[in-house]
Structure 1
């Protein structure tokens, strides 16, 4: 039951491309080095495809700035299970992965991004939703909802949505066999929340890269099974439902926001 948001992410992926979050990290002139400007030129076609602008009206769906000029992404836990299982991981994913590289928000580090937990004082219910499933209005409707997901699974809503239902921003994370897997999956999903996309999700990706589905491991075996059920190579390589049916990894390279 996801609401009004495109989602992206699964445990096997790595965050490998930038869209709107780039605006945060170039907010200070300290970041305008030759290498970053070169990167800007390289990704300009993708930015144009997403309707982003370097000047004029901002259409990039950035998380809004607060009175201190900080883009503060506030999160709450869906319920007690999410807090108990994921509380330590989300904080480590932010502090030990993201903040370790970015530094704290401010001009000295060239960005204005921070992640904070939204607390309620006193005896108020501390979770995003009450036990009856109703939204807890003690939290803003645009808060990031941290939800416990199936094991070995991660999913994050993409960037910021000004309008929509309460609880529209979601980070869903499961557990796994190794702590480092959960930590890095959580860090990955935070990337989507902040505004990062997979490279294969760029709308112009086919102008710059050729995807050879037949080179993926397991292609021949999956194709035999697909043929037996009436599908063809095109189906196996381009249809999510078919790739998923046979456990074929082309699903992870399809040019959409899923995966």
Structure 2
């Protein structure tokens, strides 16, 4: 499959409702580049996000309220996209939740909630979308991992979050091998300290020094930093890249 000039196909993005989130920033960036968009989020704000992108960029965009860990909910949302949009050529698993609770205090309910949304949600959405890509012999999948997985936690996120992101990265690498012969690539982007609400709300002036002290580049990451890399990975030019993890971490982890 080769995309027509000036037409990028449809990108499905999970977690695209939050105005300060990576998913929303990516949706705006892809809309500006001419992508059609299918946006999934449990927050009804996702429908307004799609409407704003249609108005501002003149692209086809559909928002669907869905619990990404529930197959029936995801199927309904993706079916709505398939009925109204061009074939899906990219999937970005951006939805996620964090947990700042240390292992000594965390309970099973928190473990199950974080794993269900982050790891199971990624699996469920891939299970619904990737087979269609494989049938069409073209597709790009990018899932958000985290430097917290590589470092065993972070300034805000602890063991449960790190484990869920480890599951995403391992799953992505295995899936990459399985679907590579079908023209589908699967990669992971691992951000570090990005100023989004997943960091427990805004990183205010009083919270900022704790984060900056770990960052060699001397600044917090932005949603734009992450979205720019994801835009490349979902494009045609990234067809020889699969099973990789890309760090966007301001030097928090080297290598």
Superposition TM-score tier, normalisation by shorter sequence: under 0.3
Relative contact order: is structure 1 or structure 2 higher (C-alpha 8 Å, sep ≥ 6)?
1
Q: Point out the structure with max Rg over C-alpha.
A: 1
Normalised by the size of structure 1, how large is the TM-score?
0.26
Q: Which has the higher helix share?
A: 2
